[in-house]
Chains A and B, each alone.
Chain A
Amino acid sequence: MSYTAEKVEEITKEDWLDRLQNLHITRADMNRIIMNYLVTEGFKEAAEKFKMESGIQPGVDLDTLDERIKIRDAIQHGKIQDALSLVNNLHPELLDCDKTLYFHLQQQHLIELIRNKDIEGALEFAQNNLAERGQENPDILNELERTLALLAFEEPENSPFGELLHTSQRQKVASELNAAILEMEDRESTPKLANLLKLLLWSQSQLDKKKVKYPKMVDLAKGQIES
């Protein structure tokens, strides 16, 4: 069976939105997705409140979120050694198994030392703890060099590697650690919401590849469809 070259209809935005309206997603499903997000990302209070308001069960004992929340907080406040201590209490095998994760935590500690202008401390730390890792792995060496390069600048925030000093970098590490902990506990490490969004983006890219014209969602956060 072969397709004859049909004229592909071009769909209008109104038509598209109409079709979307006719799809029915249950409220219960949406609530579950939200609860899953809150629990995975460690928003305990929000999860508890949402449980009360929506009646959706979290699926896990919310107290188990406490540790992860503490760890995330520690990282977000730049207290890496505290975070390490906490993780080692919770899952002592984790950082021995995941070398890359451990390196990223170490790297973050180094960044914090640099942020606090503790140059000597930073150099000593890098020398004692990170040098050997750099030797083992060229990717790690690369990252190490980028981090140390910050020391060469008077105003490291404005250097080409300045992004390492942003709080978004802390977020990145915190999320990486959070996901690793969840995996260690045999739970899903990414929220289902993330997977849904990825699926949407993937579907759009498939349509783009086939050169189909359709109203594309250009802003995920706002749910905005281009006209």
Chain B
Amino acid sequence: MMLSSIMDIDGSYMEDFFSSDPEKWLSSVRQIKNTVIGNTKQKIALLDMGIVSRLVQLMMDESTSLEMLLECVIVLNSLARCNNGSRVEHLLKSGVLIVLFRGLSHSDLKYIEACLRCLRTIFLSDVAPTDIIFQEPTLVPLLVSLMNHSRGTQECVATLFSCCCKTEEQQVVLCSSGAISELIPLLTTNVYKVQMPTLKCIAQMSYQNQAVSAEIISASCNEEQMIKLLTRLLARAKTTEMQIAAAKCLTNLHRAGVISPRDPAISIKTLSTLVRMCKKDKTIAERVEGAETLSYLIEVDLDLQQTASVADHVIISLASYFRVNTNEDDETLTSEQELSLKKAAFKAFAALGANDEDIRKKIIETENLMDHIVQAFAEANTQVQLAAVRCMHSLSRSVQQLRTSFQDHACWQPLMKMLQSNASNEVLIAASSTLCNLLLEFSPSKEHMLQQGAIDLLVDLTKRDDPALRLNGVWALMNMAFQTEQKVKERILKTVGPDQLFRLLSDPDGAILMKTLGLLRNLLSNKPHIDNIMANHGQKIIQAAVVLILEGDHPTAIKEQSLCILANIADGDTAKDFIMTNDDVLKKLMNYMNHTSIKLQVAAVFCVTNLIWSEDEDALERQAKLKDLGFQKTLQHLLSTNDSSLFDKVKTALQQFA
């Protein structure tokens, strides 16, 4: 019979187990237990034989003895350690969770513990439905109440929570169920197996949640404050696993806003621990986690970035993340490991270089880094791609570096290629932001990009659904138009076209409006350009920018931009006529001179000043017309203002009148 050929002991106990004679069950289940523990082959064989449903059936039966229940759970636990996702799924489908959750309400502590261990084993697997413990509202409070019954319950409940707490709602549920006050004392137990899942749980609960973090940080145990408890677990005498776990807690609490970045627990202890985790002597997993946590720690604080950049050769340590498979140890890495190292390094470099020019310089000078970044653009793995682009974005803030390294590495080409590809929105946003920076006036890459059809690409971005992409498209065009040659300006205008311009000026997103106006302003700078552009596109521009914006309901900042554009137009020679012949516009100018907002008044007056500038040709004619319309009078009234900048502008304007 097939059974005996698989078991090395006689297979009669399987028959006993499936029999209807309760006397035989206990000894048979014990034999099954001894067969499966430690032996994967047997686990699989028994799973395939349908043993799980039988176990669940026995456990659901009210008449089953406690002894029997215990053995059944133990067998389930062992089967769940199959290390194989589909096996665990099989267990789940057979309804083990229901029977295990029921077991938590049993009166016998040993049985409760056994159920918890089994649950813990299941939820540690990737395929476990972690949100399920939150679905039944009484379950979490029950688990919290069970937590401190024994060392076993401590370990298991903490692990369960750390595996299952993934969303903000779940964090809140745990917090309001009193989990924090049960968890904190576990940190002082000095039992490694209890402290570790507790640390992981705290890290999960505090992640990006200010309210929960606030509660955590205010907790204390035996008069020792949380920060002290956590820093104690950072000590070098602890395992690296524990140091990283404690560092993550402190990092998350800091980022959630409840620990100041100036607190030495953060700026000295946590930071130095994480930097140490990036060293070559640590395992791959440790180095990846160290770098990623470090980048999260420092990415929004300049002081931390500066401290980190000089800490213990961190830049050199991170650079070695790229030198895989050429290192002295004969460890050959899987491609997955190589990629996760690279991703972590990109993140760390991006964070380090976020705000400081000197740090960026040091990073960019790292051997071959730019090559690695560019190479990663072509990675199939989008996470790595994204990290690389963000890294480049961070580094592209460095004006000085733009002139040298970026040119040398032809970063613009892969960037452009990426923008034309089907990459995710996240990647495109990061890439287009980088492009914005590269398009700043003094960048040597600008010429190249123009030749490669940058304008078409950017205009295309302005048509996308994602407002962040539209913004970057316009912003990049704005940068491109800054102090550039006339033919470039012409091309931009032509490619954008009046329709798209209108659309952008009607965009619900205020930032996009601002940048579009900024684009117009840049286009209309420099006298000959202004005249030329207005000659070709004048009507539409006046219509679009000026009328649309000034008539519409927009915040002051946006209207100010529009008036500045008008002022630029008024600076041209022939362009002035566009305003002078437009009564509507003139009326608006008059209104804005009397506006409640000083800023708008200043802008309007400045525009008028340009119109009547006495050194320009035909100034007297224009002055006469405006005098007729009452402009001079209005200006004279404005002399009574308290605002000094407005006063100066008005004075300058009045001085133009002959």
Contacts and interface: CB of A to CB of B under 8 A. Distances in A.
Contacts of A129: 8, 39, 41
A93 B152 CA distance: 12
A96 B81 contact: yes
Contacts of A93: 77-78, 117
Contacts of B30: 85
A88 interface: yes
B109 to A, nearest CB: 16
Contact of A88 (B33, B40, B41): B33
Q: How large is the interface on B (under 10, 10 to 19, 20 to 34, 35 or more residues)?
A: 10 to 19
Contacts of B81: 96
A92 B40 contact: no
A178 to B, nearest CB: 17
Interface in A51-104: 81, 84-85, 88, 92-93, 95-96, 99, 102
Nearest to B81: A96
A99 B38 contact: yes
Given A186-B151, A186-B191, A186-B193, A96 B8 contact: no
A98 to B, nearest CB: 9
Interface in B1-43: 6, 8, 30, 33-34, 37-41
A132 interface: yes
Contacts of B6: 128
B74 interface: yes
A92 B77 CA distance: 9
B38 A92 contact: no
A129 B74 CA distance: 21
A88 B34 contact: yes
Contacts of A95: 37-38
A186 B192 CA distance: 8
A127 to B, nearest CB: 9
Nearest to B78: A96
B38 A125 contact: no
Contacts of A124: 8
Nearest to A84: B34
Looking at A85, A96, A99, which has the most chain B CB atoms within 10 Å of its CB?
A96
Interface string B150-192: 0100000000000000000000000000000000000000011
Interface string A102-140: 100010000000000000000011001100100000000
B41 A85 contact: no
Given A99-B38, A102-B38, A92 B33 contact: yes
Interface in B291-326: none
Nearest to B189: A186
A95 B41 CA distance: 15
B386 to A, nearest CB: 36
Nearest to A103: B38
B105 to A, nearest CB: 22
A102 B39 CA distance: 9
Contacts of A132: 40-41
Contacts of B40: 132
Nearest to B191: A186
A128 B78 contact: no
A61 to B, nearest CB: 16
A128 B9 CA distance: 11
Contacts of A106: 38
A125 to B, nearest CB: 6
B34 A85 contact: yes
A88 B8 CA distance: 18
A132 B151 CA distance: 34
Interface in B228-273: none
Interface residues of A, number: 17
A84 B39 CA distance: 12
A81 B38 CA distance: 13
B38 A128 contact: no
A132 B8 CA distance: 15
Interface string B71-114: 00010011001000000000000000000000000000000000
A190 to B, nearest CB: 16
A49 to B, nearest CB: 31
B581 to A, nearest CB: 88
Contacts of B191: 186
B117 A96 contact: no
Nearest to B194: A186
B41 A92 contact: no
B37 A96 contact: yes
Contacts of A84: 34, 37
A92 B74 contact: yes
A221 to B, nearest CB: 32
A217 to B, nearest CB: 29
A95 B191 CA distance: 21
Contacts of B33: 88, 92
B594 to A, nearest CB: 81
A128 B78 CA distance: 19
B608 to A, nearest CB: 81
Contacts of A92: 33, 37, 74, 77-78
Interface in B110-165: 117, 151
B193 to A, nearest CB: 7
Contact of B8 (A85, A99, A102, A125): A125
A92 B111 CA distance: 13
B460 to A, nearest CB: 54
Nearest to B33: A88
Nearest to B6: A128
Nearest to A99: B38
Contacts of B117: 93
Contacts of B77: 92-93
Nearest to B117: A93
Interface string A170-198: 00000000000000001000000000000
Among B6, B30, B38, B39: residue with most chain A CB under 10 A? B38
B100 to A, nearest CB: 15
A154 to B, nearest CB: 26
A116 B642 CA distance: 110
Nearest to B36: A96
B151 to A, nearest CB: 7
Contacts of A186: 151, 191-193
Given A128-B8, A186-B193, A96 B38 contact: yes
The CB with the most chain A CB atoms within 10 A, among B6, B41, B192, is that of B41
Nearest to B30: A85
A129 B42 CA distance: 9
Nearest to B39: A129
Interface centre among A84, A93, A124, A186 (most CB of B within 10 A): A93
A108 to B, nearest CB: 13
Contacts of A125: 8
A102 B40 CA distance: 12
A48 to B, nearest CB: 26
Nearest to B73: A92
A99 B83 CA distance: 13
Nearest to A105: B38
Counting from the closest, the 10 A-B pairs by CB-CB distance are A102-B38, A95-B38, A92-B74, A96-B81, A128-B8, A95-B37, A186-B191, A88-B37, A132-B41, A88-B34
Interface of B: 6, 8, 30, 33-34, 37-41, 74, 77-78, 81, 117, 151, 191-193
6 contacts: A85-B30, A92-B33, A92-B78, A124-B8, A125-B8, A186-B151
Given A96-B81, A102-B38, A186-B192, 9 more contacts: A81-B34, A84-B34, A88-B33, A88-B37, A88-B74, A92-B33, A93-B117, A96-B78, A128-B6
